[in-house]
Amino acid sequence: MTQTGMDTDVFQAFVVQLERFVRERLVPAEKETEKLNRVPDAILAEMRDMGLFGLTMPEEYGGAGMNVSQYVETIRILSWASGAFRALISINIGMACSALVKNGTDEQRKYWLPKLADGAIAAFALTEPDSGSDAAALKTSARRDGGDYVLNGSKRYITNAPFADMIIVMARTEAAALPKNAHISAFLVPADTPGVSIGKPEEKLGQNGSQIADVILEDARVPAAALLGGEEGTGFKAAMQSLDAGRICIAAAATGYAARILDCGLRYAAERKAFGQPIAQFQLIQAMLADSKAELYAAECMIRDAALNADKGRQVSLEASCAKMYASEMCGRIADRVVQIHGGAGYLKEYEAERFFRDARIFRIYEGTTQIQQLVIAKNMLRRMAG
């Protein structure tokens, strides 16, 4: 089904507003965000007022109704600033919205989508201590008990867990592995449910301001109505569908941040002088800048193509993985080059290049590592060839 999205003129007006907000409010708040290790309350309130938490929610549920292309462009623009701002809203407008719209019951959509659009924060709990890329091997269990389910297990590295109002929890509803991962179901779990606890936020290499933590479930009881879609065994499918949107989102985030990093490198090269002239005049510096721009342009084209195909209702697992793999690796290469352009200064915290280098590393791990993307791409190529 084709997604029409927001009116073009309305979206363009929003883009202008968002670009101004990013440059005038978010970028100046980066240092405070890093120091606090969370988004400042005043900035969070402004993000809610702008409707950033409901960009992709259907209009009938209080959202803006963006299509995938508009969503991707919004994430790209937002990601000029620290990843903490993007991370806070991306689960809402990516995975949570996709899971609810594509797989939720009418009652689940009516209850959760307006709350998420208003700024309630979602988390997506799939990864476990012994189960990361091998999602089908997860151990968290959901046992039916009358009109409820009782959840037990632990989830690891869950983005937004310390702030979350609702957590989408993937759990086993069957002890044995079943064909097509039919032993995995998804549950919409309020974070204040008795038996749900959140671990201490992890200290990370970069992306400070965005918090990740364990989610522990100890006899956490939820009503049967919390089962996503009201049907057991569809959780893995929902997770994979959500991951397509999540991977395009990460590709857009990496591309937006790479643009910021390259801008920093270009400005430094134009201002820093050596041997009586700006180092931007040196051909080997120009080669690094040129390679970076070409790779950035390629990533921008990839994510726009993937998003356009998604808007046309096409299955985009291959394209989403291609875009995510390339964009995340590209961002890392540009960050490395910009540190090199800065020379010794690039290793100092006084300069932004050092933070950019640390922040960029996670993109190659988010939503499936580069190696997992390679497997997804190859398997989809073989599947398409076989018809």
pLDDT tens-digit readout, 12-58: 999 999 999 999 999 999 999 999 999 999 999 999 999 999 999 99
Query: Does the structure show a pLDDT above 90 at 115?
Result: yes
Q: Which residue has the tokens 């988004």?
A: 39
CA dist 250 and 305 (Å) reads 15
Per-residue pLDDT at 73: 96
Where is 239: in which H helix or E strand?
Answer: helix 235-271
Kindly list the distances between the CA atom of residue 126 and the CA atoms of 79, 136, 243, in Å, as whole numbers in the listed order: 24, 10, 11
Of how many residues is the chain composed?
387
If residue 291 lies in a helix (H) or strand (E), which one and from where to where? helix 283-311
The CATH architecture to which 237-386 belongs is Up-down Bundle (1.20)
pLDDT, tens digit (0-9, with 9 covering 90-100), for 265-288: 999 999 999 999 999 999 999 999
pLDDT in tens, 205-235: 999 999 999 999 999 999 999 999 999 988 8
Which residues contact residue 358 at a Cβ distance below 8 angstroms, ignoring those fewer than 6 apart?
A: 205, 206, 207
Q: What is the pLDDT of residue 245?
A: 81
Tell me what the mean pLDDT of segment 339-365 comes to.
Answer: 97
Q: What is the pLDDT of residue 225?
A: 96
In this prediction, residue 325 has a pLDDT band, given cuts at 50, 70 and 90, of very high
Higher pLDDT, 202 or 176: 202
Give the residue extent of every domain in the chain. 8-120, 124-232, 237-386
* pLDDT at position 174 over 90: no
pTM for the whole thing? 0.93
CATH number given to 124-232: 2.40.110.10
What pLDDT is stored for residue 373 in this prediction? Answer: 96
pLDDT of the residue at 40 = 96
Instruction: Please provide the distance, in angstroms rounded to a whole number, between the alpha carbons at the two ends of the chain.
Output: 21
Q: Stretch 371-385: mean pLDDT, rounded?
A: 95
Mean local confidence (pLDDT), 310-326: 94
Residue 334 in this model has a pLDDT that exceeds 60: yes
Contact 78, 256 (CB under 8 A): yes
Average pLDDT estimate for 247-260: 96
| Predicted pLDDT of residue 243 | 80
Q: Does residue 130 have a pLDDT over 90?
A: no
Q: Work out the mean pLDDT of the chain and round it to a whole number.
A: 94
Per-residue pLDDT for 133 more than 70? no
In the annotation, is 367 catalytic? Answer: yes
Task: Answer yes or no: is pLDDT of 1 > 60.
Answer: no
Looking at residues 281-298, what average pLDDT do you find? 98
In tens, the pLDDT along 61-114 reads 999 999 999 999 999 999 999 999 999 998 898 888 988 998 999 999 999 999
**CATH (residue range 8-120):** 1.10.540.10
User: Would you state the structure tokens that stand for residue 115, as one six-digit string?
Assistant: 């709350």
Q: 73, 295, 319, 367: which one is catalytic?
A: 367
